[in-house]
Amino acid sequence: MDRITLTGVTAVGHHGVFDFERREGQPFVVDAVLYLDFAKAAESDDVRDTAHYGEVAQRITEWISGEPLNLIEALAVRIADSLLNEFRLQAVDVTVHKPQAPIEVPFGDVAVSVHRARNNGESPVQGERP
């Protein structure tokens, strides 16, 4: 399967279990790997025949800056499901980084990753939304 890799999509979000996280916000960084077949796009040389990564990046930032969630796990699943449902993808990997997480010891990053794939080419395997 062919893939597009989009790394470092960054926006301020208000996700977290603590009141100050929701009040003050912090940066979240998302990486996404989009799995799809490039055959039609390669033949047509038309962006409409692939997943437009500019539009994908925009959708990711909308999720980051949108409705506050307690867990970055929930954010990762919502982003993955959204991308799988809105674009011509066979599968997607999404990693959400929370580099300023309120952790009391020195750390470099905290991140969660999810993988979602279409079942028989139609709907997400997990995390499916109505």
* Active site members: 98
Side chain identity, residue 36? L
Residue length, the chain? 130
Report the C-alpha gap between 49 and 72 in whole angstroms. Answer: 31
